[in-house]
């Protein structure tokens, strides 16, 4: 048996805020992000306006090619950084979905340029740590979705009440022969999520 004792303020590292007058709730992770920045000693770095600029594009060519380079780079906590950023992305960071997918590809053999990408993402988090997901900013109760693909990467985002509720960016598992085929794959992934969200929304409505 569960009993509601008081208004929730935090859940899974996220802070819950509400404006009961406008019926607008917010979700934020400013405290969590600040702890991450402090842990990796980047809390005083200059904020970055974008998650990952075109001037920093990690690739397989940036991975160490000798055992000496691997041992040197092994001292850098790549896995810890990726896990920390990933949690921020899953909770309230749709803007991080693509870059988390990019940097995660090189976890088995990361190099210095991959670390530069990580640091840039952390600097972006510093500049956006007070950004919140806002819900109820519109009168619409529809689930709306958007999808696209680029460079064999599928992505989608779904919103409800003006706020993002589901998002994803993923490298496509098969090689496509055309841009149209890549778009079909992206649309297929988004449609599966749309069907699930529609059923979930219908289930909530039925229980009211």
Q: How far apart are CA 79 and CA 74, in angstroms?
A: 10
Instruction: With H, G, I as helix, E, B as strand and everything else as coil, classify residue 20.
Output: coil
Question: What range defines the domain where residue 100 resides?
Answer: 30-128
pLDDT at site 1: 54
Residues β-bridged to residue 27: 16, 133
The count of domains in the chain is: 2
- Same domain for 62 and 107, yes or no, is yes
* Ranges of the chain with pLDDT below 50: none
Q: pLDDT, tens digit, for every residue of 44-82? A: 889 999 998 888 888 888 888 888 777 767 777 888 888
pLDDT at site 207: 58
pLDDT at site 52: 87
Residues β-bridged to residue 25: 18
What global pTM score does this model have?
Answer: 0.80
pLDDT at site 206: 61
Nearest to 185 by CA among 140, 157, 147: 147
The first and second tokens of residue 52, run together, are: 């990952």
Whether 152 is in a domain gets the answer yes
- Same domain for 104 and 48, yes or no, is yes
Q: How far apart are CA 22 and CA 132, in angstroms?
A: 16
Whether 36 is in a domain gets the answer yes
pLDDT at site 208: 57
């Amino acid at each position: 048996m569960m009993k509601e004792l008081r208004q929730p303020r935090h859940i899974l590292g996220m802070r819950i805020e509400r404006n009961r007058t406008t019926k607008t709730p917010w979700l934020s992770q400013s405290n969590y992000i600040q702890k991450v920045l402090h842990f990796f000693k980047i809390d005083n770095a200059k904020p970055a306006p974008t998650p990952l600029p075109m001037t920093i594009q990690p690739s397989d060519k940036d991975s160490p090619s000798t055992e000496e380079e691997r041992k040197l780079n092994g001292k850098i906590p790549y896995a810890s950084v990726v896990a920390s950023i990933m949690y921020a992305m899953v909770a309230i960071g749709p803007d991080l979905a693509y870059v988390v997918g990019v940097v995660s590809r090189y976890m088995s053999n990361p190099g210095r340029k991959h670390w530069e990408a990580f640091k840039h993402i952390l600097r972006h988090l510093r500049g956006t740590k007070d950004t919140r997901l806002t819900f109820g900013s519109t009168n619409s109760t529809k689930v709306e979705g958007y999808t696209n693909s680029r460079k064999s990467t599928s992505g989608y985002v779904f919103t409800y009440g003006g706020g993002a509720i589901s998002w994803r960016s993923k490298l496509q598992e098969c090689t496509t022969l055309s841009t149209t085929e890549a778009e079909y794959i992206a649309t297929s992934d988004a449609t599966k999520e749309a069907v699930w969200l529609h059923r979930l929304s219908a289930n909530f409505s039925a229980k009211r």
